[in-house]
Chains A and B, each alone.
Chain A
Amino acid sequence: MLPNFSYVRPKSLDEAVRHLDSPENRIHAGGTDLLGCLRERVFGVAKIVSLSGIQELKGITETAEGGLRIGALATLREIAESPLIRSKYPVLAQGAAEAASPQLRNQGTLGGNLCQKPRCWYYRGDFHCLRKGGDLCYAMVGENAFHCILGGDACYIVHPSDTAPALVALGATVRITGAGGPRTVPVEEFFVPPTQDLTRETVLEHNEILTEILLPPPPQGLRSSYRKVRARRSWDFALAGVALALQFRGEEVAGGRVVLSGAAPIPWRSVEVEEVILGKRLDAETISAAAEAVVKNAEPLAQNDYKLPLFRAIVEEELSAIAKV
């Protein structure tokens, strides 16, 4: 059973923000993550504020500068199938296509994918762990095969999103609207690591709505890709994944980002790999140095050191593949 709540479907952003006057009033986009959390009693709820009636949050359009504006309510399916995204930002189309299941991609939105709650099974279960305001991380000493190898500190979740690494790699920004007016935040700074505050996942206040995702125009020589490894062929979260958005000048990597999924509590920029490949041709030597670098600073938990060879292998394979494009 879902807990009791009231339901509103405002027609405008202003009206929606006004309904968010209590932290127990929850934003509802596709509901694919929210309803699961409510059913599992991960957090409480008084009112559901559906965004589905707000037209301006929909659609995918090109910007005047040649970038892209994606409304927060664009579904993962729309993103995976958009000819514009597939041709200009393949890493994002691939991330969306690799997320969840067909039914969930039909209903789940990009905004919701970025704001989804952690999948740590203690957090989703009956455990009052640190992240929920308790005083213990059960994963640290318990079942931690699917937890992080980088960036953990008191809490060891991995960020569940397959689209967020692509957006960080592409240097995207998000627009946010709240009672205090709109603001713009780079996706890279949107996620909050446990080192900073382990009771929140994003910089959003309870009364703020993510309204759109903005992609800069693709830079000269951009090649991008997303690779995800999961335990089975049907839907599953990433055990390990890597999003590449690299600018090539001839055969040389002139810039770009390498971002990991399944590695850390936030989409994890691997500056170690970026340093190895910047200014280089992706020859065998550089690629094998990059594969070593990706796990150089990893601190695996008791049950997840299997992720180290996985990350080495996907970095090696994806860099080899992108060098040949």
Chain B
Amino acid sequence: MKRIIQLTINDKEYEVAVEPNQTLTDMLRYELGLTGTKKGCEVGDCGSCTVIMDGIPVNSCLVLAMQANGRKITTIEGLETEKGMHPIQKAFVEKGAIQCGFCTPGMILSSKSLLDKNPNPTEEEIRAGISGNLCRCTGYQKIVDAVKSVGK
């Protein structure tokens, strides 16, 4: 049976009718058209579905939409402002950290949550910070370079 939940996504209030077995990923993508959040493994392996919930990154494929009731969510769509792309997004473009782009939204949100806590991470800390996000294209070095370049 559908139930209405209320939540804040990218600083905007939403009311959405969701099924108990709907995940947060599916709600974002199919109910709200926020397709920046990607759907990869759906079992917690890849991190492509990462969103920031109440300040911490989680795998939205393992969050039931019902659980997001009353929470504050940031998706990749929430990073750009009228001034343009977020500095981390720019760095990913400039450092060539994007190939197919499937992992990128998750990578950027994990990086953001790392940099918000620790503005000057070491390479080791960056690798730990993005260890829940798998990239099958870049070999990670350029992603690490991009995050490092924002850190300075």
Contact = CB atoms under 8 A, between A and B. Distances in A.
Partners in one complex: yes
A50 B69 CA distance: 13
Contacts of A32: 44, 59, 62
A107 B63 contact: yes
B21 A101 contact: no
Contact of B110 (A6, A35, A77, A103): A103
A31 interface: yes
Contacts of A4: 20-21
Contacts of B44: 32, 36, 100-101, 103-104
A16 to B, nearest CB: 15
Interface centre among A1, A7, A30 (most CB of B within 10 A): A7
A28 B67 CA distance: 11
Contacts, number: 80
B42 A39 contact: yes
B57 A106 contact: yes
Interface in A29-57: 30-32, 35-36, 39-40, 48, 50, 52
A193 B18 CA distance: 40
Nearest to A40: B43
B74 to A, nearest CB: 14
Contact of B23 (A2, A107, A234): A2
Contact of A7 (B20, B43, B58, B59): B20
Contact of B62 (A5, A107, A235): A107
Given A32-B44, A52-B67, A235-B132, A103 B23 contact: no
A102 B131 contact: yes
Interface residues of B, number: 27
B151 interface: no
Contacts of B1: 6
The B contact surface, by secondary structure, is mixed
Interface in B101-139: 110, 127-129, 131-132, 134
A4 B66 CA distance: 14
Contact of B59 (A1, A40, A104): A104
B120 to A, nearest CB: 18
Given A48-B20, A102-B57, A103-B50, A234 B64 contact: no
Contact of A103 (B21, B22, B42, B132): B132
B47 interface: yes
A50 B42 CA distance: 20
B4 interface: no
Interface string B1-23: 10000000000000000001111
Interface of B: 1, 20-23, 42-44, 47, 50, 56-59, 61-64, 66-67, 110, 127-129, 131-132, 134
10 contacts: A4-B20, A7-B64, A7-B66, A31-B64, A35-B43, A35-B64, A36-B43, A36-B62, A101-B47, A233-B127
Closest 6 CB pairs of A and B: A101-B132, A7-B20, A36-B43, A2-B21, A234-B131, A103-B132
Interface of A: 1-7, 9, 28, 30-32, 35-36, 39-40, 48, 50, 52, 77, 100-104, 106-107, 233-235
